[in-house]
Amino acid sequence: MTQTLKRLPVYLVLLVGAALSIIPFLWMVIASTHTTAALFATPLPLLPGGELWKNLARLQQETNFSQVMVNSLVVAVIYTAFSCVVSAMCGYGLAKFRFRGRGLVLGAVLLTMMIPMQVLLVPLFQMMASLGWVNSYQALILPFLANAFGIFLMRQAFLDFPDSLIESARIDGAGELKTFYRIVMPVARPQLAALMIYTFISQWNSFIWPLLMLNTEDKYTLPVALNTMIGLSRVDYSGLMLGSLLATLPLLLVFIIFQKQFVSGLMGGAVKG
Amino acid sequence: MPKAMKLAAPLLALALLSGCATGGVPSAAGTKLSSDAAVSGQITVWSWDVAATALKRLSKEYTKEHPGTTINVVDIGYDNAYDKMSVGLQANSGLPDVITVETDHMPAYIHQFPKAFTDLKPLIGADEAQFDPSKISASSSADGKLLSMPWDSGTVALYVRTDYFKAAGVDPSKLATWDDLITAGEEVKAATGHALISTDLSTGSLFQMLLQQQGQGIFTPDGAINLTSAAAVKALALIKTMNDKGLLDNVKGWDGRVTATKNGKSAVMPEAVWWIGTLTGEMPELANKITVVPLPAFTAGGTQTSNDGGSTLAIPTQAKNPQLAGSFVKFMLANKDNQVSMMKDEGLFPSYLPALDAPLFHAPQAYFGGEKVYELFAAQTPKIPSITYTSDNAKAGDTVSSAVVAAVLNHQDPAAALKSAAEQIATATGRKIAQQP
Amino acid sequence: MTSTLLRPSRRPSANAGGRAGARSTAGRSRPGYWFVLPAVALFAIFFLYPLLSSLWQSFFSTTGGESTWVGGAQYLRLFHDPLVAKSLFNVGLILVIQVPLMVCTALGLAYLLNQSWLRFRTGFRAMHFLPAVTTLVAYSLVFRVMLATDGGAVNQLLAMVGMSPVDWLNSEAWSRVALIASITWRWTGYNMVIILAGLQGIPAELYEAARIDGAGRWAIFTKIVIPQLRPVILFSSITSTIGALQLFDENFILTGGGPNNATLTPVLYLYKVGFQQFDFGYASAIAWLLVAIIAVVSVVQFAIMKEKK
């Protein structure tokens, strides 16, 4: 009883936080069931309306929504798979090995985080154009496979990784790569999960680069396709809200699946064993 | 591995030094277009919104008339469309055969990328005089080339809430000058409690619209800064007076203007002809409550219109099939029937003046209680004053909007705020401030 | 080739078995190269040219399509440009207020959401993470609707408690408050997840030992959790700092940098200079000034967090 009382404030804090986080979403849900005209009215509608199916049909017709959803999924899955391997390897190398030029590599990684993307767009575009990669998915995936944010995240995660584990694997005769895949990666599962969540979302929501690269509507990814609903003097807000809402669902699913890895005790058990 | 890096760095540095780093400059001035060239093959056209719808619809007609051609219309969305096009211009690669560019954006492109667009003059020749003159001047380069073809006009008039004016006992058709409108606004406010105009002061677009109405731009025809002119001070003082009298409702962006109008926040809206599409689309419930009159003049008998928006089609010199692009652009825009059909189906108000004779423009409009509002816009379109754009219009625009905020919201003297803006622009661009008589 | 190079070295590590201080196993340089190779190669292929190109461009001035070498003139211009100063002041202000606020909130939330006794844990986690998955276009509309001066949701709430409406996006002071609130809303969940993942790396034995020693909850949080999370907190701080100094999306969407440049940031300014005024040389100079500032701030953060190199 006393314990429950002590925990009550925690629940209260979390409830307030949750409310602040989801109220805008609830409004998106409501907005996607009204006409755009209704969204300009005062007071704003507070209850769901009856336009959901019409909005959905228009969304599908104007943006070929199901197709762009598949496009986005293909790009994000391929990107996440490869980028996470590259980031984890590089982060591990930087955290656990001492070699000449290590500081330089870390500095270079951080530098690519520090430079505003906007000034790199034109030269990167020129490169893609001269490679003939305009309007291709490799142009969305390859240049950003090495991701500074991910490398830095994994480096920080591996810093405190117990060397004893790595050493014992080596003494058992495992190769460096095998040690990495069999010993290090499984123990670092929570951090890998965080990396995968981050990587998937960043590719899924990526907008400016795909907009510059993709030139035919059948190749559009979600944000680029939704952007076509924004016109010069006409914005289809209810369609946009519905599209954004549907675009969010796969991300939530990814989060819920991967956050299962956030369970204490993996590391403790590993050190003991 | 580090060895490879050591090797790669100087190689890439060499590549940079060879000049491709500063963005390519088109080598040739583009193909010489001809109005009767044989066309074949395919082109790609970038556009957005209803413009893309119109292009897709009419491209079918075009390919029927010209067998063996294919027109691919791609909707790139309006938001960030200029980022996509600017990167293509800067990189000198990646642009399609035809791009849609708004009239306001074209002068900056012409100044910054003078060799990036194909001259369209050979396509239409003397027919150039048949277009809205203010659009032609915005699409022309200093050496007289026509680098984009006007599509639709943003002719401005005053949309009036008739019920508010009736409640105050004011006749909107008798509004000759802005002073009349301010007096009327005070009466409407006393009678109904509503403001006169809802506008987004932070963009400075109301100020620029009022300046163009007086036939002036931020710069004089010889490129000097025009912000200390009597017309500029008059325009800003007018906005300030309206705000001081409590007649302005400051809102944020297009959304803010739509919301304010839909909810009847203010009595009039100085807006372009395309506002009709927004009215009928988002606020059908206001039917029969709105009428359109010409913009009040600054002095009785003066110009009663201005420009806000409108688009053009341009052919980049990068185009792979410029002859077909030219033929298609001419078919779309310098063509009475097609311009009329785009007004009818997509609400794009023609810059091609012969189209304005069509019966459609003289038909009564149900939304406006049966008034012939298009007739009014058609009559005003040839009267839109042409103004001078320079390469520094974009740079000056932000400074101008800050001056508007300073004078209207922070209560500075309009003349002083404009003088200080002019000095800032002079420092930033190295241009002279025009001497005022 | 890979197999020979990845063959384990038989040399014993200098600090084998150690935990603290044994950040790297000495003498194992070759495998280290191989682990960083893919990333370094990808960076070299795709980013070396754009980086050098933007640096190169910052020594040019372009007008009317013609580029001319101007040496360091663009960099000199930075020091006389009041908008550069103002934008740096704006992000400085945001940095000092927003980053500590967000990192502390994220840390607290992550700690609470990691408690094993917590019911509906997955649900709470997912809800707190929701803002991080919003698409930008939905985010912009939702916030403009919430922050509208007339009839916006926030002002309606204020009215309920008897306060007068606030002109969120049109007043210089309030637009900064609105901006800070909206960035915090969008990014706290993100940092929460990263810290949550970091929390899993703390061995359960440490908690048990502390409990046996009679340490209270607060003592466990400050004496065990925070020191153990140091690398993760450093990561969160540095990336949030970079995020704040490079702020672009939120103010581009909500205020466009206004009113009267109160929410102008260096990246928004360089975007306007580069993509609206086509002065890519000056835009690059602003970018490299920002890189220098971020580098200095990051080095200071590394030093404060006392990370051993």
Q: Which of A248, A243, A251, A198 is nearest to A224 (CA)?
A: A243
Q: Which residue of C has its CA nearest to A39?
A: C145
What mean pLDDT do residues C50-72 have?
88
Residues 156-195 of C with CB under 8 A from A: 156, 185, 189-190, 193-194
For C106-123, write each residue's pLDDT tens digit.
Answer: 999 999 999 888 888 899
Q: Which of A215, A201, A187 is nearest to A249 (CA)?
A: A201
The enclosing H or E element of C158 equals helix C153-160
Q: Return the CATH number at C147.
A: 1.10.3720.10
Distance from CA of B434 to the nearest CA of A (A): 34
Local structure of B250: helix, strand or coil: strand
Least confident range from A194-208, B10-24, C12-26, C43-57: namely C12-26
Asked if A167 and C20 touch (Cβ cutoff 8 Å), the reply is no
Local structure of B304: helix, strand or coil: coil
Tell me if C216 is assigned to some domain: yes
Domain B36-150+311-350 class, CATH top level: alpha beta
What mean pLDDT do residues B174-186 have?
95
pLDDT for the residue B29:
59
CATH 1.10.3720.10 corresponds to the domain A65-272: yes
User: Which residue of A34, A62, A102, A126 to mutate against B (max B Cβ within 10 Å)?
Assistant: A126
- How far the first Cα of chain B sits from its last, in Å, is 70
- The amino acid that residue A225 corresponds to is A
pLDDT for the residue A222:
94
Instruction: Provide the CA B11 distance to its chain's centre, in angstroms.
Output: 45
> Residue C214 pLDDT more than 70?
yes
Least confident range from A217-231, A235-249, C90-104, C142-156: namely C142-156
Q: Interface of chain C against chain B, CB under 8 Å? A: 33, 37, 40-41, 44, 48-49, 52-53, 56-57, 60, 62-67, 81-82, 137, 141, 144, 148-151, 169-170, 256-261, 272, 275-278, 280-281
Residues 48-77 of A with CB under 8 A from C: none
What mean pLDDT do residues C163-187 have?
89
The first and second tokens of residue A93, run together, are 């190398």
Q: Provide, as residue numbers in chain C, all residues whose Cβ is less than 8 Å from the Cβ of A261.
A: 197, 200
Asked if C210 and C223 touch (Cβ cutoff 8 Å), the reply is yes
> Residue B42 pLDDT more than 90?
yes
> Residue C308 pLDDT more than 50?
no
Residue scoring higher pLDDT (C2 or B328): B328
> CA–CA separation, A259 vs A194, rounded Å?
8
> Residue B182 pLDDT more than 90?
yes
CA of A215: how far to CAs of A218, A246, B46, B91, C100, in Å? Answer: 9, 24, 9, 16, 42
> Residue C9 pLDDT more than 60?
no
Residue scoring higher pLDDT (B116 or C63): B116
Tell me if C67 is assigned to some domain: no
Instruction: Please state, rounded to an integer, the average pLDDT across all residues of chain B.
Output: 89
Contact A228 B48 (CB under 8 A): yes
Contact B398 C40 (CB under 8 A): no
> How large a percentage of chain B has pLDDT more than 70?
93
> How large a percentage of chain B has pLDDT more than 90?
70
Residues 218-257 of A with CB under 8 A from C: 222-223, 226-227, 230, 237, 240-241, 244-245, 247-248, 251-252, 255-256
Residue A43's pLDDT band, with cuts at 50, 70 and 90, is: confident
What mean pLDDT do residues B143-155 have?
94
What are the domain boundaries of chain B? 36-150+311-350, 158-307+390-429
Contact A211 B50 (CB under 8 A): no
Phi, psi (rounded to 5 degrees) for B99: -125, 150
pLDDT for the residue C307:
56
For A222-261, write each residue's pLDDT tens digit.
Answer: 999 998 988 877 788 899 999 999 999 999 999 999 988 8
Asked if C301 and C234 touch (Cβ cutoff 8 Å), the reply is yes
Q: Which of B256, C183, B252, B77 is nearest to A240 (CA)?
A: B77
Residue C297 structural domain: 76-304
Contact A234 B2 (CB under 8 A): no
What mean pLDDT do residues A196-215 have?
93
pLDDT for the residue C1:
31
Q: Which of B211, B77, B297 is nearest to A212 (CA)?
A: B77
Residue A264's pLDDT band, with cuts at 50, 70 and 90, is: low
Out of B21, B111, B250, the one facing C64 most closely (by C-beta) is B111
Out of C28, C109, C203, the one facing A268 most closely (by C-beta) is C203
pLDDT for the residue B4:
45
Q: Which residue of C has its CA nearest to B5?
A: C44
Tell me if C42 is assigned to some domain: no
Residue A273's pLDDT band, with cuts at 50, 70 and 90, is: very low
Q: Fold for domain B158-307+390-429? A: D-Maltodextrin-Binding Protein; domain 2 (3.40.190)
Out of A115, A149, A223, the one facing C239 most closely (by C-beta) is A149
Asked if B418 and B227 touch (Cβ cutoff 8 Å), the reply is yes
pLDDT for the residue A161:
82
Tell me if C284 is assigned to some domain: yes
Instruction: Please state, rounded to an integer, the average pLDDT across all residues of chain A.
Output: 88
Q: What stretches of B105-256 adopt beta strand conformation (E)?
A: 149-150, 156-161, 195-199, 248-250
pLDDT for the residue A169:
83
> CA–CA separation, C143 vs A166, rounded Å?
49
pLDDT for the residue B256:
86
Using the 8-state DSSP alphabet, how is residue B366 labeled? G
Q: What stretches of C27-182 adopt beta strand conformation (E)?
A: 60-63, 66-69
Phi, psi (rounded to 5 degrees) for B150: -60, 140
> CA–CA separation, A201 vs A254, rounded Å?
9
> Residue C194 pLDDT more than 70?
yes
Residue scoring higher pLDDT (C243 or C307): C243
For B238-252, write each residue's pLDDT tens digit.
Answer: 999 999 999 999 888
pLDDT for the residue C305:
78
Q: Name residues whose C-beta falls within 8 Å of residue A145's C-beta, 6 or more positions apart in sequence.
A: A79, A82, A83, A86, C42
Tell me if C16 is assigned to some domain: no
For A81-108, write each residue's pLDDT tens digit.
Answer: 999 999 999 999 999 888 888 999 999 9
Q: Provide, as residue numbers in chain C, all residues whose Cβ is less than 8 Å from the Cβ of A258.
A: none
Asked if B58 and B327 touch (Cβ cutoff 8 Å), the reply is no
Residue C95's pLDDT band, with cuts at 50, 70 and 90, is: very high
Q: Which residue of A has its CA nearest to B48?
A: A231
Contact A234 B50 (CB under 8 A): yes
Contact A143 C33 (CB under 8 A): no
> Residue C17 pLDDT more than 70?
no
Domains contained in chain C, number: 1
